[in-house]
Amino acid sequence: MSDTNNMVPEIRFREFSGGWREKTIGKVLSETNRAIVLQDDVEYELITVRRRNEGVVSRGHLYGRQILVKNYSQLEAGDFLISKRQVVHGATGIVPGSLDGAIVSNEYLVAVGNCDISTEFLALICKRPAMYRKFFLSSYGVVIEKLFFDAEDWKKRTITIPRLSEQTQIGSYFKSLDRMIELHQRKHDKLVTLKQAMLQKMFPQGGATIPEIRFNGFEGEWEPRMLGSLGNTFSGLSGKTKAAFGHGNGGYVTYMGVFSSPLSDESMTGLIEIDASQTEVEFGDVFFTTSSETPEDVGMSSVWVGKADNVYLNSFCFGFRPTTPVDHLFLAYVLRSQEFRKSISFLAQGISRFNISKRKTMEIELLLPCKKEQEKVGAYFHSVDRLIAKHATQLEKLKNIKSACLEKMFV
């Protein structure tokens, strides 16, 4: 038995005290096997357990006659599952209510709660590194993708658990945390889907000169303009070796800073020495990546909205500086619209790596509305992006809280 001080978690609910108890897994685990005789003309739902603790999900329906191996058992909502083939990759989880009555083969270990341990608490401790190690030590094989879980060996190992009442409290806390994470994830995903849909509907598509969705008060066709007629190009950093990067009082916009977002700023820069011979970026400059592993990703663009001096553009990019009045936010999003992305991907050349030329990019035609409509469209997409970023930040915070609690609320 470990020292009592080592049997108390760092963070604990106020009403609980005393040390947790170390017990053999096999003595607290209650396995179940609700064997079922498959009927040829009955349709059954089968499940799978995702890796990285991402839950139990359906993998479709089959009639009994289509299931060749017949040794299946039936599940109930709340059962805890371990995939014997994938447990070292975190394939464990609770059966949700929507999969009550689904069936599972003997490739899975099925456990239910009892007076010693709840399935919710078991699911939580199975997400911790200590249990991952036990899963690995109780698995055998040569290739990690094909390790097989020795459940009997695992059951000889020990876990440290509190009384059932404390387990229940901990389980409820993490369940509420998971609900908050799920809520923000849903909102984030809906906004991303909305943005993608509006990038198609608020810019003219397929030869049209008027968008499908438009703000009130605007009418008439958008004006076709060749991109190159709106400004001038400039090159990214030239003559720099790897040793030049990573230090200095200047900055350079990274490749991923251009690739990852329609707007780039100081948060997307690295360090480099100030060099008066290079082109310093200015507010409203457009950047294009020149190379990528797929034609769909080549020529991604970003507009510089940073305020810092002595910032330059990466050598794997080229810049475009508008000389014609055009809203910088509108430009950022029209260059990420479906029509423009199709045009620029069409220009990509290469086999193992794809490239675009500055000259050909400048020959792509854009459709522009009046400046006021540009400002409306640009502001709309910027507001959607801010909401997406807000939920992404909240998601990251909640996931970090969960990760910290998984470490500090257990022994």
Half-sphere exposure of 207 (CA within 13 A, CB side): 0
Residues 281 and 245 sit within 8 Å (Cβ to Cβ): no
DSSP 343: H
Task: State the helix-helix crossing angle for 164-201 and 371-408, rounded to 10 degrees.
Answer: 160
Whether 95 is in a domain gets the answer yes
Whether 99 is in a domain gets the answer yes
Q: Are residues 148 and 32 in the same domain?
A: yes
Half-sphere exposure of 279 (CA within 13 A, CB side): 21
Q: Are residues 183 and 261 in the same domain?
A: no
Q: Which residues contact 373 (CB under 8 A, 6 or more apart)?
A: 214, 215, 218
Q: Are residues 110 and 209 in the same domain?
A: no
Whether 129 is in a domain gets the answer yes
Whether 2 is in a domain gets the answer no
- Distance CA(210)–CA(203), nearest Å, equals 8
Q: Which residues contact 255 (CB under 8 A, 6 or more apart)?
A: 289, 314, 316, 317
Q: What pLDDT does residue 5 have? A: 62
The CATH number of the domain holding residue 38 is 3.90.220.20
Q: What pLDDT does residue 4 have? A: 54
- b/e per residue 299-330 (b: at least 16 CB within 10 A): bbbbbbbbeeebbbbbbbbbbbbbeeebbbbb
The per-residue pLDDT for range 68-81, each reduced to its tens digit, is 888 999 999 999 99
Q: Are residues 140 and 186 in the same domain?
A: no
Q: What pLDDT does residue 2 have? A: 43
Instruction: Give me the domain span that covers residue 375.
Output: 164-219+370-411
Pair of tokens at residue 345: 């991907």
Domain boundary (146, 161, 176) is at 161
Torsion (CA) 380, 382, 387, 391 in degrees, nearest 10: 150
- Please count the structural domains in the chain: 3
Residues 337 and 292 sit within 8 Å (Cβ to Cβ): no
Asked if the model's pLDDT at residue 3 lies above 80, the reply is no
Q: Are residues 312 and 262 in the same domain?
A: yes
Q: 3-state DSSP call for residue 181?
A: helix
The per-residue pLDDT for range 219-239, each reduced to its tens digit, is 999 999 999 999 999 999 998
Asked if the model's pLDDT at residue 1 lies above 60, the reply is no
Beta bridge partners of 62: 44
Q: Are residues 315 and 338 in the same domain?
A: yes
Surface-to-core class of residue 203, CB atoms within 10 Å of its CB (0-12 exposed, 13-18 middle, 19+ buried): buried
The per-residue pLDDT for range 31-53, each reduced to its tens digit, is 999 999 999 999 999 999 999 98
- Distance CA(129)–CA(150), nearest Å, equals 18
